[in-house]
Structure 1
Amino acid sequence: MCVVALAHRVHPDWPLILVGNRDEFHGRPAAPLHLWDDGSGIVAGRDLQAGGTWLGVHAPSGRAVVVTNVRGAMPDPAKESRGALVSDLLRGQGRFSDPAAEDLRRFNAFNLFAVGGGEARLLTSRPVPLIMPLAPGVHALANEPVDEPCPRAERLRNALAAAVEAGADPATLLDTLAEEDDPALFLGGDVYGTRASTLVAVATDGTVRMTERRYEAGGRSNGTTALDFRIG
């Protein structure tokens, strides 16, 4: 993901709302949102190049995780996959299911939200490796280090905060993410651009609504997947 916002325990009907755009090269293969067939219980799209994911929900536990890269940091192909970090955090199993701050140096630069058990955390490797709890509220990340201002993240944070204050249906945020005249959020490039807009909304009764709208080169619509399921 390249811009994402999180509403944590502030909406009266949806204690967890996670919404964002994934920007990526259009030539990088990916599978649409689905329940993975490996028995992991992960519901997510899948990066078919590295095998992990950028945003997902663990259906048995309700854990939700999303990652962004960080602009300006040259990727090192020898480092661990950020998508694998997301997968391990979602499952609660694997080498990186409970990382320490020093473990975050093993990945190319990233920002990440992890939510589970009623708690939310921020994990980041820039400017320094850091794991910190998040208070109930509306938070946002994009491709900038967390100690730098980011208008793109603030634009989406404000949109989510307004929806929360109005008690609005979270699904309206998908239209905000797809506004082609707002380059702060939607990138309609032919080579690199917004590949997917994703919404995760978890209701007070444990019902999960998860929607992914996909886009191809030029910002053209390329299908929608909507899944409803219950935690556990």
Structure 2
Amino acid sequence: MCVVALAHRVHPDWPLILIGNRDEFHGRPAASLAEWSDGSGIVAGRDLQAGGTWLGVHRPSGRVVVVTNVRGAAPDPKKESRGALVVDMLRGDGRFADPATSDLDRFNAFNLFAVGGGGARLLTNRPEPLIASLEPGVHALANEPVDQPCARAERLRKALETVVGTGADPEALLDTLMAEDDPALFLRGDTYGTRASTLVAVSADGDVRMIERRYEKGGRPAGTTALTFRIG
């Protein structure tokens, strides 16, 4: 996931809204959004190469986690999987279910939003390991270190902020994510590009709406999955 925005406790109907694009090599295999069949309670797409995920919801608890990579550092194959970090944090079980700051350098460069237990956190290991609580508001990440300005993250943050301010239906943000007049948000490459746009919206009553739009080479639509379910 290369650009993502989070609205935490600010929309009148949806106290949690998460929206983002996953950019990846088109040749990397992935499974579509679904509830996993392993009994974990995770609802997510799945990276079939490493086995983890980039964004998901834990249906029993309502935890939501999303990760982006960070550009500028060559991946080290000896490092732990960032997708596995997301899975452990979603399940609330495993070595990295509740990572300490000292754990973060075990992974290749990343930024991460985690929501659960009534709070939201930012985790990153660039420019240095950090775990920070997020105040209610609209926040955004991309694949840049968190201490550097990022125009596409700010573009998406402002789009989500507008939805929050007007009380509009957050589903319209999916069109913003693939706007042809904003190539910074949606990558139409044939080798590497936007593979999926995903929306997560959680109501105050615990009803969840998840929508994933998938794309092939050149940004061609490759299917949509829309799920609704209830936390717990």
Task: In structure 1, list runs of 5 or more residues that go unmatched.
Answer: none
- Aligned counterparts, 1:75-114, within 5 A: 75-114=75-114
CA distance in 1, matches of 2:180, 2:88: 34
Q: Which amino acid aligns with 2:190?
A: D
Question: What is the aligned partner in structure 2 of residue 199 from structure 1?
Answer: 199
Question: What is the aligned partner in structure 2 of residue 172 from structure 1?
Answer: 172
Secondary structure at the counterpart of residue 88 of structure 2: helix
Q: Tell me how far 1:61 sits from its aligned partner.
A: 0.4
Deviations, residues 96-140 of structure 1 (Å, cap 9, x unaligned): 001100100000000000000110000000000000000000000
Q: Which amino acid aligns with 1:164?
A: V
Identity of aligned residues (%): 81
CA distance in 2, matches of 1:143, 1:31: 22
Deviations, residues 161-195 of structure 1 (Å, cap 9, x unaligned): 00000000010000000112211100000000000
Q: Which amino acid aligns with 1:91?
A: R
Q: Tell me how far 1:227 sits from its aligned partner.
A: 0.2
Q: Are 1:29 and 1:49, in contact at CA under 8 Å, matched by a contact in 2?
A: yes
CA distance in 2, matches of 1:228, 1:204: 14
Give the paired residue count: 232
Q: Are 1:155 and 1:184, in contact at CA under 8 Å, matched by a contact in 2?
A: no
Question: What is the aligned partner in structure 1 of residue 230 from structure 2?
Answer: 230
Question: What is the aligned partner in structure 1 of residue 214 from structure 2?
Answer: 214
Q: Which amino acid aligns with 2:189?
A: G
TM-score with structure 1 length normalisation? 1.00
CA distance in 2, matches of 1:226, 1:78: 36
Q: Which amino acid aligns with 1:134?
A: L
Question: What is the aligned partner in structure 2 of residue 122 from structure 1?
Answer: 122
CA distance in 1, matches of 2:29, 2:182: 26
CA distance in 1, matches of 2:94, 2:224: 31
- Aligned counterparts, 1:18-97, within 5 A: 18-97=18-97
TM-score with structure 2 length normalisation? 1.00
CA distance in 2, matches of 1:98, 1:215: 33
Q: Which amino acid aligns with 2:61?
A: S
CA distance in 1, matches of 2:178, 2:42: 25
For the aligned residue pairs, the C-alpha RMSD in angstroms reads: 0.4
CA distance in 1, matches of 2:179, 2:48: 27
CA distance in 2, matches of 1:69, 1:171: 25
